[in-house]
Amino acid sequence: MKIYVDADACPVKDIVIAEGRGAGLSVILVTSFSHFSTAEQPAGVEIIYVDAGADAADYRIMKLADSGDLIVTQDYGLASLGLAKGCIVLHHKGFRYTNENIDQLLQTRYLSAMARKSGKRTKGPKPFTAEDREQFRALFKQAISHCE
């Protein structure tokens, strides 16, 4: 199992790196060149830079990921593609995307986009909390536990 992170705006990279490395798993952070850094990464962590295009990171992750790999993303479209490929897909707020919930999530996203397009205001995401971090940590540890 490899761990792929849609890393541009991921607030749990530190958890993924610490827990993933602790389990002896490879962690691949996929991010745009606009987030380029010369900071050295720990052993077992790789950064792949992609163009700043809207879905460039998503396409690269889907090109690299295999069935059984784990993907961390907040992007419902990427989550849907990952599920179709047989990946485990987690959201940084501590829930797992499944074949049972992805259609509803995509439908809600579509309806919100249509409302915004027609001039209506929609609510943004709730702020990321310490509770969200711990919920993600527990879910992530559970997801990788069978690999140790």
How many separate domains does the chain show?
1
Virtual torsion, Cα 50, 71, 132, 94, nearest 10 deg? 160
What value does the mean pLDDT take over residues 46-51? 94
Kindly report the CATH number assigned to the domain that includes residue 29. Answer: 3.40.50
Is 39 within the bounds of a domain? yes
Structure confidence at residue 122 (pLDDT): 72
Is 104 within the bounds of a domain? no
Is 117 within the bounds of a domain? no
Structure confidence at residue 107 (pLDDT): 83
Is 37 within the bounds of a domain? yes
Answer yes or no: pTM beyond 0.85.
Answer: yes
Cα–Cα distance for residue pair 124/147, rounded to 1 Å: 36
Is 50 within the bounds of a domain? yes
pLDDT band for position 144 (50/70/90)?
very high
Query: Domain containing 91: what range?
Result: 2-98+129-147
Q: Write the pLDDT tens digit of every residue in 119-129.
A: 887 777 788 99
pLDDT > 90? residue 12: yes
Cβ atoms < 10 Å from Cβ of 75 = 20
Cα–Cα distance for residue pair 107/129, rounded to 1 Å: 25
